[in-house]
Chains A and B, each alone.
Chain A
């Protein structure tokens, strides 16, 4: 067996990302990916044992980075907390409910029965995102914009409220995708109810 190289791994990831973007997860095939990079099918499988694993590496990483950038842009010194949360919610859900992110989320949940993919996803995405949101909320509490409460629980409540109207529908395939402009009402209602629960008056 030839030694694996990082350059080759990156080339595969890049080609795979292209194929997934072009034809979507269901229709993408390992042979198509192999054709783009050249080399044998065995080499490809040597790097990534299945299409699922490859898709996870490509999409999960990309989406987690996008989400963390959005959370990272939360400004704890913003004068208008509500506006800040609305802006954040809109961007966050737009990424979360993109067809690729929905597919990767379903895959992670399905695969977590058999592998540690769920754990990896939780540690790489869920935990750091919750921590960043909690840190933002902690600062908002400190300057008196929110009542004092456990910021970690508040963060989890905020994120769950943002997903309260659409998560089940999306994961269970009742709706396939959500257009960003359909999100503003969902986000507004979630932020309103979060602030009602956590705001100081």
Chain B
């Protein structure tokens, strides 16, 4: 569910010394942030473990917030590249693929570090540009999800529509049940796999009904009024 970021130190002779230092700082900071959270981790502690002065750290990262964002975005990218490969490789029924993908994304974004990073980005949004950086990463993810959806629209598994909009809708439905209580610290515990799987299942079900191919409309139009089954194959779409 969660992949640690691994930095490859010094194996490339063209890597500059300052880059190696930067990676060492990121690696140490990442470990500390994950182990003890944002508030309890200090720049002094990171600096002591990496070696060298506090000034060196500050020459790479102007604040603890920025160091944190940098760490967590590296984790985000690392994680997403794995999950997306999975999604792209899936064939056939989009439901199973989207459910797995949705559960995996939820497990990741509901982890304490990622909830914390979102809070910080939003808190800092009015002051710095880090919120925009984070948004760019989210957009990159959305582009890949919309490519997946676009291919399903081409092959007739989903009705044709704007795939980027569809990706926005899918993302919003996935986060709908779970994210806000975590962001607002209404609950302390992270949801377990069962809970994220259930939220993903309901989100994907609503999404697929909404984006079902038009051909299913005919079946549902003939459906008797009193029948109240929940079978997706009988569901219809509107433009």
Residues of A within 8 A of B (CB): 26, 103, 106, 108-110, 112-113, 116, 118-119, 121-122, 126, 144, 147-149, 153, 156-157, 159-161, 163-165, 167-169, 171-174, 189-190, 192-199, 201
Contacts and interface: CB of A to CB of B under 8 A. Distances in A.
Contact of B135 (A106, A144, A172, A199): A172
A164 B131 CA distance: 17
Interface residues of B toward A: which range? Answer: 35 or more
A131 B230 CA distance: 23
Contacts of B125: 106, 171-173
Contacts of B134: 172
B144 interface: no
B173 A157 contact: yes
A109 B183 contact: yes
B184 A195 contact: no
B185 A119 contact: yes
A113 B119 contact: yes
Contact of B123 (A110, A116, A169): A110
Contact of B131 (A26, A122, A173): A173
Given A160-B175, A173-B126, A196-B209, 20 more contacts: A26-B126, A106-B126, A113-B116, A116-B185, A118-B185, A126-B180, A126-B184, A156-B177, A161-B173, A164-B173, A167-B172, A172-B125, A174-B132, A192-B239, A193-B169, A193-B211, A196-B210, A196-B236, A198-B209, A201-B220
Interface of B: 39, 116, 118-123, 125-126, 131-132, 134-135, 138, 165, 168-169, 171-173, 175-177, 180-181, 183-186, 202-203, 206-207, 209-212, 217, 220-221, 223, 225, 228, 230, 235-239
